[in-house]
Structures are given as structure tokens and as C-alpha cells.
Chain A
Amino acid sequence: NAGVTQTPKFRVLKTGQSMTLLCAQDMNHEYMYWYRQDPGMGLRLIHYSVGEGTTAKGEVPDGYNVSRLKKQNFLLGLESAAPSQTSVYFCASSYGWRSANYGYTFGSGTRLTVV
């Protein structure tokens, strides 16, 4: 089925470890986004990309890096995980600027716990 696929679905990290979350979409969307969702905080934008080879910072970028080497993939990296990065991470994609008329398509999330 067409959509946004996130891997892994669950992960437990020790403080200081690194990992990469993968997001893949098969809808030929130009825009891709990484959000984190925490209780009482809603969804907060970490980084986003407006096209292959481009990335930009969102609301809470510190401690994260991203890459968009291929149009269909958007990777989120944690170089040195901290307990404050315990969260549920969502990837989303959209056709273009201003979310067009179609809204965002979200993945099912990655639940990350840093101990």
C-alpha cells in the first residue's frame, strides 16, 4: 500500500549510543518532515526537507541530524542519545509547499526509549 513507512517501530538505547531512524515514502512527495510527540507537548517539528539533497531545521533540532540523499528517503540520526530524546517519532510527507490541498501523510511512528 502506498504511504510512509518508518523503521524501526520500537527501540531502546543507552545514553550516549547512536542510531538512525529511516523514513521511506512511495508517493513521490517533495516535502518530508520529522516530528516528535510527547505527552502535553503535541507534535513538534525537528527537521524537514523540501526536496532531494535539502534539509532545514524545525522547532527542536538540537541533538538530531538528517539527510535526504534520495527523494523517497528521509533519515533522522541521533549522534549521542539522551534520556530527553525518549519520545515517539513520526515522519510525514506532502506534495509541496504549504501542504498543498492534501494535508500530510504520516508514518506509524517509532517509539524510542533512552535509558
Chain B
Amino acid sequence: SQQGEEDPQALSIQEGENATMNCSYKTSINNLQWYRQNSGRGLVHLILIRSNEREKHSGRLRVTLDTSKKSSSLLITASRAADTASYFCATDPLSGSRLTFGEGTQLTVNP
């Protein structure tokens, strides 16, 4: 099974609202990353948070990490229609195997 699991599977909001997506994982990690995938395109790296970090910001993105709960959240503030995409979390496990992706959250931002 996948290391990371996103929740919800789908999210539909209005432009200007905030969007929050969650990711849970199973094993200890070095870092956790979030990626965006627009329809028909490849994944684009958004942000990386290390296991010793609790929060990180990048523009309108805010990522939190709780290693005790093995969970992370991605917050997109003041969403825009252009934010419509699938968002994936990916975990870099301590075990030394490769980056492992979850199944993604489909975000739709309605104009």
C-alpha cells in the first residue's frame, strides 16, 4: 500500500477560499514533499518539509508536519481557479527506499 494517503480525495471550493489537504503516512521519514499535477501534465514540486521542521511557508502555501501523528497538511490560502489540480504528498522514508507518493487530492476551485 502507499506510504502516504491524502484526505480528502476530492475538494471543491470557491475562488478566494482556503483549501486544506491532509496527508497521513506510516513509517518514519526524512522529509515530506508536496507536488501539484495539472490535468494531463507531470508533477511539479511545491514544497519540502524536513522531519525536524513543524511548519513551512512558500507564497500562498503553508505546510505543517506532525511526526508524532505521522501527518502533514497543505493549506492554500486565497485560492484561485488556476490552483485547480491534483495535489500529492510524497514521503522520503528513513528506511532508504525511494520517494513514495500518495493517491492525491483533486482540488477544484470554482471562479
Question: Which residues of chain A have a CB within 8 Å of any CB of chain B?
Answer: 4, 33, 35, 40-43, 45, 48, 58, 90, 92, 98-99, 101-109
**Complex contacts, B90 vs chain A, CB 8 Å:** 104
Which residue from chain B places its CB closest to the CB of A94 in the assembled complex? B99
Q: Is the interface of B mostly helix, strand, loop or mixed?
A: strand
**Complex contacts, A107 vs chain B, CB 8 Å:** 42
B88 adjacent to chain A (CB < 8 Å): yes
Which residue from chain B places its CB closest to the CB of A90 in the assembled complex? B42
What is the total number of residues of chain B having a CB less than 8 Å from a CB of chain A?
Answer: 22
B10 adjacent to chain A (CB < 8 Å): no
The list of the 9 closest CB pairs from A to B, nearest first, reads A103-B45, A106-B42, A42-B103, A43-B101, A106-B43, A108-B42, A42-B101, A42-B2, A103-B33
Which residue from chain A places its CB closest to the CB of B100 in the assembled complex? A45
Q: Are A99 and B33 interface neighbours, CB within 8 A? A: yes
Complex: A35 Cα to B41 Cα, angstroms: 14
User: Which of B40, B42, B45, B88 has a CB less than 8 Å from the CB of A42?
Assistant: B88
Q: Are A98 and B92 interface neighbours, CB within 8 A? A: yes
Q: Given A33-B98, A104-B99, A106-B42, are A43 and B88 neighbors across the interface (CB < 8 Å)? A: yes
Complex: A45 Cα to B99 Cα, angstroms: 9
A42-B88, A106-B44 provided; 6 other pairs, C-beta below 8 A? A33-B98, A40-B103, A43-B43, A92-B43, A98-B30, A106-B35
> CB within 8 Å of A: which of B4-57?
30-31, 33, 35, 40-45, 48
Q: Are A103 and B104 interface neighbours, CB within 8 A? A: no
